[in-house]
Structure 1
């Protein structure tokens, strides 16, 4: 319990610092800003969930992000912390991450990307994951500007260790690839769908797939209500962990 508490405090401090200034790689594509106006921008998002019946569950989560754009360069720092209490667990479970990404527009439809990330997740017994990667992002947009899509191709190196005597520390190189669809059917409604596929370059059976959909409705100019559907599949999880997770969350997002 003390270890979880110290870990939560550590990540909370990291999130606080980031607000002043995104399994494998956490899905940060859905956290990208649709507008790349020059200067500083960001958002804070808070959500909760509750379930009662065969098991009682209460969940709290927070996201913070800061962007900076100038000329062809766009950088962002994003963090997440989630706390879950369950009736059949003696202590709360936590997961969190901190992600930094730098993007440079080579030409209008092509960006170069580099990124760093740190993550932990009690739900899959992940004590720590560090990764670094780089890639290319291809950008496409329809003439009416209501629909855009992006294709990302890249490589990353990850180091991870689990709370399990059956698992050794791992150092793995993976391909990291994604398809992102951004649809804005009206001024108040936005739908973002992202599919990630990451494969061990030396073992094709070791792959992870992440599917994420966010539906956002503008309550005001700066306040947005969001529903998030997330599916995660790991073909070679650690011992005792299921291959998939399905998560549905609601939250309020404040842009600044």
Structure 2
């Protein structure tokens, strides 16, 4: 049954923050052998009182073969305004590319311990982020994994992060380029509340303290420069025809440009009709 029509979308609050994406939510829940992929694209053209062109696209895939798991995601949004003189003004450019590889260390059927390697690139001109690159290596552990009921996993890794932001006269102290070593930690949990009506609750949380500044050759304590992310999702099928979903995203950064807020909150609900 395909989702054809989204009936409602409500955005209750959104405060902008330096880019930081909760990537563990993209880990595939289906661990069956083989390849799965998805591509989406949309184009919006406005003419009249507004002269806007907006393009967005996304790509997700995963590949499972024996003890190997590879999954990646990419998205891009571009928006521009056409002026009366024929020139254009870009008002939105957001790009994101992420990939992760997992190798199951233990050979038994549980496959609880995995070695993981990941990389990411990101740009977001709306919040003056010109380039963000990161990469890391660490361990992933499935604490609990009861199919169609409950799963709990944790991960920890060493992560290198490079960021380049556009200089702003409102904050001439914040460096235009930063190079940090971070300690990346996450917890992922999914609980099926009611299997009959497909009601489940999921939570993913990240804690990423920086412990070394490469540019200035100085160490941080773990509370001096850190980022915290949390994503909570609730999904349920109200009837065979309608389903409801709600998601809460929260982000906090202790070290950002002083004209940006440190806390970012985004709450979204949607109602979907399936037929």
User: Counterpart of 1:30 in 2: which secondary structure?
Assistant: helix
Consecutive unaligned residues of structure 2, counting only runs of 5 or more, are 1-17, 43-53, 81-88, 213-219
Of 63, 66, 75 in structure 2, the residue corresponding to residue 68 of structure 1 is: 63
User: Counterpart of 2:130 in 1: which secondary structure?
Assistant: strand
Change in Cα spacing, 1:231 to 1:249, as seen in structure 2 (3 Å) is: same
Q: What do you get for the CA RMSD once the two structures are aligned?
A: 3.3
Structure with bigger helix share is 1
Matches of 2:91 and 2:115, distance apart in 1: 39
In the other structure, the counterpart of 1:191 is: 201
Change in Cα spacing, 1:83 to 1:213, as seen in structure 2 (3 Å) is: farther
Q: TM-score of the superposition, structure 2-length normalised?
A: 0.68
Of 16, 21, 27 in structure 1, the residue corresponding to residue 22 of structure 2 is: 27
The Cα of 1:151 is off from its aligned counterpart by: 0.8
Change in Cα spacing, 1:94 to 1:103, as seen in structure 2 (3 Å) is: same
Matches of 1:35 and 1:224, distance apart in 2: 21
The Cα of 1:219 is off from its aligned counterpart by: 9.1
Q: Is the 8 A contact 2:28 2:71 kept in 1?
A: no
Question: What is the correspondence of 1:1-256 to structure 2 with a 5 Å cutoff?
Answer: 23=18, 26-43=21-38, 63-82=58-77, 92-107=91-106, 108-141=111-144, 143=146, 145-165=148-168, 166=172, 167-187=175-195, 188-202=198-212, 203=220, 204=222, 205-217=224-236, 226-250=245-269
Larger Rg computed on CA atoms? 2
Matches of 2:239 and 2:64, distance apart in 1: 24
Change in Cα spacing, 1:46 to 1:148, as seen in structure 2 (3 Å) is: farther
Consecutive unaligned residues of structure 1, counting only runs of 5 or more, are 1-22, 48-58
The Cα of 1:39 is off from its aligned counterpart by: 0.6
Change in Cα spacing, 1:249 to 1:120, as seen in structure 2 (3 Å) is: farther
In the other structure, the counterpart of 2:5 is: none
Q: Is the 8 A contact 1:146 1:183 kept in 2?
A: yes
Residue-by-residue CA offset, 1:215-245 (whole Å, 9 max, x unaligned): 2346999x98643311110001123111111
Q: TM-score of the superposition, structure 1-length normalised?
A: 0.72
Change in Cα spacing, 1:191 to 1:70, as seen in structure 2 (3 Å) is: same
Structure with larger RCO (C-alpha < 8 A, sep 6+) = 2
Change in Cα spacing, 1:151 to 1:60, as seen in structure 2 (3 Å) is: farther
